[in-house]
DNA sequence: TGTCCGATTGGT
DNA sequence: CCAATCGGACAG
């Protein structure tokens, strides 16, 4: 079995290092997996776009406080699941939303669950990838470092030139937290979810970083 | 208990 | 562009 990932990083660094790694789901006999191509960092209580904004702590987001390497899965719009990986130390309230993967293993199973869609759309978007991999609330809080159901395996680390950044999706337009370039994706990747990804390099957002503390 | 809404998606 | 669909957050 491949080496597993180091999770104990702040959300932005974890987001960066997750790109190019492989999300693996074991479902009975089937092994489903995909290369992570798009993520979003949610930094913690000071990040007003985070579910943990202002230190909010509720039954839904409880697992965001578990500390690095846990699953945070929640239901959105009453019908889709979003899958996050927690970051940082326990009680940090930080996580990385996995927004898209490039299907690798178990594509037939994914197709069966997702219906007749283009290959590139199979896992393109947080709700779609959750459905394709059979991720729902019952995985919420699972420890990905030891789980037999869901984990991340190491792929090659992407060079910075392959990483682009932009504002996170679906947060409206008001405020610096909606604008902050905390969405990371692989440049020119067909499996990235929404269009409108600006061509801002990862190194360039380091200048923004001071404003996010 | 009542009201409002969303880190989305798929079909007009 | 808009409806689907419902658990959870929050006000009262």
- Quickly give A22 CA vs B5 C1' distance in Å: 33
| pLDDT value of position A145 | 96
| pLDDT value of position A73 | 98
| Measured distance CA(A60)–CA(A51) in Å, rounded | 9
| pLDDT value of position A177 | 94
The residue whose two tokens read 């006999």 is A29
For A122, residues 6+ apart whose C-beta sits below 8 A from its C-beta are: A103, A107, A110, A111, A114, A128, A132
| Measured distance CA(A44)–CA(A42) in Å, rounded | 6
Regions of chain A where pLDDT drops below 70: 1-4, 209-213
| pLDDT value of position A19 | 97
Q: Which nucleotide is nearest to A171 (CA to C1')?
A: B7
| pLDDT value of position A199 | 80
| pLDDT value of position A109 | 97
CB of A195 within 7 Å of some strand C atom: no
| pLDDT value of position A212 | 67
CB of A80 within 7 Å of some strand B atom: yes
CB of A127 within 7 Å of some strand B atom: yes
| pLDDT value of position A49 | 96
Chain B nucleotides covered by protein, CB below 7 Å: 6-10
| pLDDT value of position A22 | 97
A150-153 and A71-76 beta bridge pairing? unpaired
Which pTM value belongs to this model?
Answer: 0.96
């Amino acid at each position: 079995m491949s080496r597993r990932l180091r999770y104990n990083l702040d959300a932005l660094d974890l987001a960066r290092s997750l790109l190019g790694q492989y999300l693996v789901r074991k479902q009975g006999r089937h092994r489903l997996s995909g290369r992570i191509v798009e993520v979003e960092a949610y930094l913690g209580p000071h990040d007003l776009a985070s579910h943990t904004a202002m230190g909010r702590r509720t039954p839904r987001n409880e697992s965001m406080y578990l500390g690095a390497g846990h699953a945070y899965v929640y239901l959105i719009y009453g019908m889709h699941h979003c899958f996050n990986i927690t970051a940082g130390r326990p009680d940090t309230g930080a996580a990385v939303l996995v927004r898209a993967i490039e299907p690798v293993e178990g594509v037939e199973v994914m197709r069966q669950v997702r219906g007749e869609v283009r290959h590139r759309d199979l896992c393109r978007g947080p709700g779609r990838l959750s459905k394709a991999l059979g991720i729902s609330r019952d995985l919420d809080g699972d420890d990905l470092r030891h789980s037999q159901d869901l984990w991340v395996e190491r792929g090659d680390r992407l060079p910075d030139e392959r990483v682009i950044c932009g504002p996170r999706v679906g947060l409206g337009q008001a405020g610096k937290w909606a604008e902050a370039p905390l969405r990371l994706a692989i440049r020119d990747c067909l499996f990235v979810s929404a269009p409108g990804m600006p061509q801002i390099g990862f190194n360039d957002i380091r200048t923004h970083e001071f404003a996010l503390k």
